[in-house]
Homo-oligomer: A and B are copies of this chain.
Amino acid sequence: MSPVLDDRAAQVLRLVIEDYIETAEPVGSRTLSKRMGQLSPATIRNIMADLEDSGYLAQPHTSAGRIPTAAGFRYYVDYLLERRQLLRSERDQLQRTAGAGAPLPDETIRQIGRLLSQLSGQACVVVVASPDNQKLRGIRLLRAGRDNVLLVAVMQSGWVQHRLIEDEPGLTEGDLEKIGNYLDNLATGLTLSQLRSKILQEMRHEKSRYDRVMTRALALSSRAFPDSPAGEVYVEGRANILEQPEFVEDVHNLKRILRAFEEKSVVVRLLDRVLEGGETRVSIGTENPVEELPDISVVASALQKDGSPLGSIGLVGPVRMNYSRIIPLVEFTAGMLGSINGHR
């Protein structure tokens, strides 16, 4: 099972895969022979038999054509794939959608996801990284009604979070401003998780120093950030899953996939690995991080700005996926979002 195939075998493997991607049907030697010119069906059959021995192809049953195995797809993606350039119109659409909004408000990122799912015919998954790892630009406190306080945190990236803190009576406007400034100083430049631990630390200190206001500030903000908020998760174009014959055939599997999409944690897990890597990553079938879904593939990429992670975006579909179109799509989108946020 050498990792490298001779030219002809590679060619055959490629054609099998490309045909299979289009038709979702096992492909036979006759079809290939026509498409390759040169070789006769019989020869092709021999080559295919070899490829089957090597584990790149498989037969659903005797007397059927061959279909690529996961290993086959892997080989294809690693060595054979020719990336198809994006169409000008695709690039334009993506850029227009991305450019329309402020630096990445929810709605924009969502629309990009939707567009991407349309262009690719797959489901699109976006995870906006938990703001825990983004640096804060500042914190403000606002009065919101008599007993409530609104805490607004702005991230360096332009992302905004707010928390409504209930039942915090007896604070004057002055108090609020003091507390706000104190927190703002404390927070600026830190990430949320750093802030959280800093707050705990300070709380011990301040108690002893007996500064009412500061203690109050800390108590308040620890109520606002009790725990790391999971990042936002969007799934767009779920219905595309239904366009895939291999999924529709088996309703049971279909259910599993759609259920999985409802589970935030699963979606996050799906894109997990990509966050570290930086590169666009292709997980084929069982390679993907969610063992419950052994027959889907994920093409995903991290979104980042100035090297700090903003989240990740991925296209999810059947193993039989048009990688040569989809990989460039994801890459371009990730690059684009990265550079859009790149300005300061």
Interface string of A153-178 (1 = CB under 8 A from B): 01000101011111000000000000
CA of A105 to CA of B305 in the docked complex: distance in angstroms? Answer: 28
Chain B nearest CB from A183 CB (Å) reads: 14
Q: Give the number of times this chain occurs in the complex, counting copies.
A: 2
Contacts of A344 in B (CB 8 A): 145-146
A32 close to B (CB within 8 Å)? no
A10 close to B (CB within 8 Å)? no
Interface string of A195-229 (1 = CB under 8 A from B): 00000000000000000000000000000000000
Contacts of A163 in B (CB 8 A): 102
Contacts of A230-271 to chain B: CB distance below 8 A: 236-239, 242-243, 248, 251, 254-255, 258-259, 261-262
* Known A150-B152, A248-B251: A103·B166 in contact at CB below 8 Å: yes
Which stretch (A71-79, A88-96, A136-144, A279-287) binds chain B? A136-144
Cross-interface CB contact of A239 among B102, B148, B154, B255, cutoff 8 Å: B255
Q: Are B242 and A254 in contact (CB under 8 A)?
A: yes
Q: Are B150 and A160 in contact (CB under 8 A)?
A: yes
| Interchain Cβ contacts under 8 Å between A and B, 29 examples | A102-B164, A102-B166, A103-B166, A137-B144, A137-B145, A138-B143, A142-B154, A144-B158, A144-B160, A145-B154, A145-B344, A146-B344, A148-B158, A150-B160, A152-B152, A152-B162, A160-B164, A162-B162, A236-B262, A237-B262, A238-B238, A239-B255, A239-B258, A239-B261, A239-B262, A242-B254, A242-B258, A243-B255, A248-B251
